[in-house]
Structure 1
Amino acid sequence: MKRQLPTPVRAAARWSGDQLTDLGRALLTPVEGRAPLLFGAERAWVRWLPYLLAFAATATLLPTGTVVLAHDYGLAVAVAGALALVQSVPLLVAVTRPLIAWWVMTAGVVLGAALTANTPTGAGPWPWPVPTLLAYVFLMPALALRERGRTLLAVWLVTLFGSIAASDLHQARAGESAAVVVALSGTVLLLGWSVRGRGQAQKLLAEQEQISEAERERSTLLEERARIARELHDVVAHHMSVITVQADSAPYRITGLPPEAVEEFGTIAAAARSSLSEMRRLLGVLRSEGAAADRAPQPGLEQLGRLVETVGRAGVQAELTVTPEVAGLGELPQAVGLSVYRIVQEALANVVRHAPGARAEVRLTAVGRTLLVRVENSPGGRPGVEGAEGTGHGLVGMRERVRLLSGRLETGATPAGGFLVAAELPVNSVGESPR
Structure 2
Amino acid sequence: MQIFKVGGAVRDRLLGKPVTDIDWVVVGATTEEMLAQGYRPVGADFPVFLHPKSGEEYALARTERKSGRGYGGFTFHASPEVTLEEDLIRRDLTINAMAEDDQQNLTDPYHGQRDLEERILRHVSPAFAEDPLRVLRVARFAARYAELDFKVAPETLELMRQLSESGELEALTAERSWKEISRALMEDQPQMFIQVLRDCGALKVLMPEVDALFGVPQPEAHHPEIDSGIHTLSVLEQSALHKQPLTVRWACLLHDLGKGLTPEEEWPRHIAHEHKGLKLIKAVNERFKAPKDCQELALLVGQYHTHGHRALELKASTLLELLQSFDVYRRPQRFEEFIAACEMDARGRKGLEQRSYPQAEYLRGAAKAAREVAVQPLLEQGFKGPELGEALKRERLKALETYKEACAS
| TM-score interval, smaller chain | under 0.3
Greater helix share, 1 or 2? 1
TM-score normalised per structure 2: 0.21
TM-score normalised per structure 1: 0.20
Q: Find the structure with the greater CA-based Rg.
A: 1
